[in-house]
Amino acid sequence: KGSKMRLSVAAAISHGRVYRKFGLGPRSRLDMLRNLVTALVRHERIEAPWARADEMRGYAERLIDYAKLGDTNERAMRMANFWLTEKDLIHKLFKVLALRFQPHTGDYTRMMQIPNRETDRAKMAVIELKGNPYPPLIVRRRDTEKTLLNQLLKGYREDMKRAA
């Protein structure tokens, strides 16, 4: 028997699709992202698979934008009520985080990749709210004075001062 020709594009090709799918469906995806946002607001620094953290970042930042509108705003309160499953965090969001991020325009979170998870080698990321009380993830060290180049530059500066 000869094989028949495929007359339509197979549904399994996903060229050019940019949006991610998570969980068992769209509602499951939103529930999972909601759990992650709640955890981020509670703990201010969480570790998660990179794709989930990336997806959650946008939702978390928009939630903070809504919180900046204020406690009395009906839409903001409804958003916070949906996105934060633990209701004591609504107080924290409006009283602590909205105040903390008042001077910032956007960019309230920092996301960095960490070494792969030990069990299944999944690509992991740590996502944190800026201004959290924990130790910083990266410390920028200024070059120490004792390197050769810095010693030479210091000597040059002193020579210039003596000549002047």
Partner 1 sequence: LVLVFSPLPRLRDLLQRCWGRLEHGLLLGFSRSQIPPWGPALAVQAPALLPEPVGDTAESNEVPSLFDSILWMAAPKKRRTIEVNRCRRRNPNKLIKVKRNIDTCPECGNLKQKHVLCGYCYAKVKAETRLIRIEMGKKEGGPFNAPTTETVVLYDGEKPTEKEGGKRIIERARKRPSWFGQN
The only residue of 33, 56, 64, 89 in contact with partner 1, by rule CB under 8 A: 89
Beta-ladder partners of 127? 46, 111
Q: Could you give the string, one character per residue 20-59, with x where binding to partner 1 holds by CB under 8 A and - elsewhere?
A: ----------------------xx-x--------------
Residue 91 contacts partner 1 per CB under 8 A:
yes
Nearer to partner 1 (CB atom), residue 44 or residue 55? 44
Beta-ladder partners of 125? 48, 113
Residue 86 contacts partner 1 per CB under 8 A:
yes
Structure-block tokens of residue 125: 């990321």
Nearest to 62 by CA among 95, 19, 93: 93
Residue 92 contacts partner 1 per CB under 8 A:
yes
Nearer to partner 1 (CB atom), residue 8 or residue 72? 72
The only residue of 21, 95, 154, 157 in contact with partner 1, by rule CB under 8 A: 95
Q: How far apart are CA 100 and CA 84, in angstroms?
A: 18
Q: In what helix (H) or strand (E) does residue 63 lie, and over which residues does it extend?
A: helix 50-68
Beta strands in the chain (DSSP E): 45-49, 109-114, 124-129
Nearest to 115 by CA among 139, 137, 134: 137
Residue 134 contacts partner 1 per CB under 8 A:
yes
One-letter amino acid at 136 equals: P
The only residue of 74, 88, 107, 120 in contact with partner 1, by rule CB under 8 A: 88
Q: How far apart are CA 51 and CA 117, in angstroms?
A: 14
The only residue of 112, 122, 152, 153 in contact with partner 1, by rule CB under 8 A: 112
The residues that touch partner 1, with contacts defined as CB under 8 A, are 42-43, 45, 86-89, 91-92, 95-96, 100, 112-115, 126, 133-139, 141
